[in-house]
Chains A and B, each alone.
Chain A
Amino acid sequence: QITLKESGPTLVKPTQTLTLTCSFSGFSLTTSGVGVAWIRQPPGKALEWLATIYWDDQRRYNPSLESRLTSTKDTSKHHVVLRMTSMDPVDTGTYYCAHTSGIRGSYRQYMDVWGQGTTVIVSS
């Protein structure tokens, strides 16, 4: 059974760097075709894809946020880390990580199992 859980600070100040961890079980991020994505959702709004890191350490970032995002993985510890710099109040919302799957070997992957999400509030 695949499970994921996000963790990190609930409150960050403007201009600070947010660091979130996605701890997972039930799969290996070294298995071909596997990825972990980050998605966020401002209160009452729609979902926004942020980044995906793949089995081969390839990464894809949303171009609108790419300069602020870094995704890394620690396969031995079964977790993925997302760093987002220069936090602003508009970055307030729920941040999810999700296991991704797709056609074998493709980076085009849908999110098939989601974590419960973690709330991040950006305020001074």
Chain B
Amino acid sequence: EIVLTQSPGTLSLSPGNTATLSCRASPILSIKYLAWYHQKPGQAPRLLIYGTSNRATGIPDRFSGSGSGTDFTLTINRLEPEDFAVYYCHQYGNSPYTFGQGTKLQIQ
């Protein structure tokens, strides 16, 4: 099973700042099969990025994904109020498909 470890657990930033979220995979994962979602309280998750770096439909270019092997990153530029949520990475390359434990992005 591929374990995804996200860091930090909580990230406190102000609107306008840049957020950098990390997802570490163990063991190694193909870049084809890493996705990112965010989830606001009381809502379903929403797809942001798939295949490590491809933005989903309707996702602004402030969101970007990168990485390979065991280390993957989601970067959010120019944070807006609606970006504050919990972010999950997800690997769909090897069953069981797994999620990280989440990073909570909160307003400082």
Contact A108 B32, CB 8 Å, known A63-B95, A114-B44: yes
Contact pattern, B 93-105, Cβ under 8 Å of A = 1, otherwise 0: 1011111111000
Best-surrounded residue of B33, B51, B101 (most CB of chain A within 10 A): B33
Shortest A37–chain B CB gap in Å is 8
> Which of A52, A96, A103, A116 is the one whose CB lies under 8 Å from B32?
A103
Chain B: interface residue total (CB-CB under 8 A): 25
Best-surrounded residue of B44, B51, B101 (most CB of chain A within 10 A): B44
Task: Kindly report which residue of chain A lies nearest to residue B86, judged by CB atoms.
Answer: A46
A91 vs B41: C-alpha distance in the bound complex, in angstroms?
A: 20
Write out the residue numbers on chain B whose beta carbons fall within 8 Å of the beta carbon of A63: 95-96
Contact pattern, B 25-62, Cβ under 8 Å of A = 1, otherwise 0: 00000001101010000011111001100001100000
Task: Kindly report which residue of chain A lies nearest to residue B50, judged by CB atoms.
Answer: A110
A62 contacts chain B at the CB level, 8 A cutoff: yes
A47 touches B92 (CB 8 A): no
Ranked 7 nearest A-B pairs via Cβ: A114-B44, A47-B99, A110-B35, A49-B97, A62-B96, A110-B50, A46-B101
